[in-house]
Amino acid sequence: MQINQKKTRNRAFRMEDGKLYFTREAERSIFFVLTLLMLAAGVMIRLGVI
């Protein structure tokens, strides 16, 4: 017997009905990087570099 299963790739995001859905891991990674960028920008502003 052969079972027909839909193969799905584990992607970081997917499009459904015109909406973009992220996996939990991808969302956490994106927000972590954005947090580090905001921290770096804040430090640079505080030091007068920017």
Task: List the domain boundaries for the chain.
Answer: 23-50
- Helix H segments across 1-50? 24-47
Q: Is a pLDDT exceeding 70 seen at residue 43?
A: yes
Answer with the residue of higher pLDDT: 9 or 28.
Answer: 28
Cβ 13 vs Cβ 26: under 8 Å: yes
Average pLDDT of the residues in 4-21: 78
Radius of gyration of the chain (CA): 19
Q: Show the tokens assigned to 40.
A: 């770096």
The size of the chain, in residues, is 50
What is the structure's pLDDT at 13?
Answer: 82
* 13-16 and 19-22 strand pairing: antiparallel
Q: Which tens digit of pLDDT belongs to each residue from 17-33?
A: 999 898 999 999 999 99
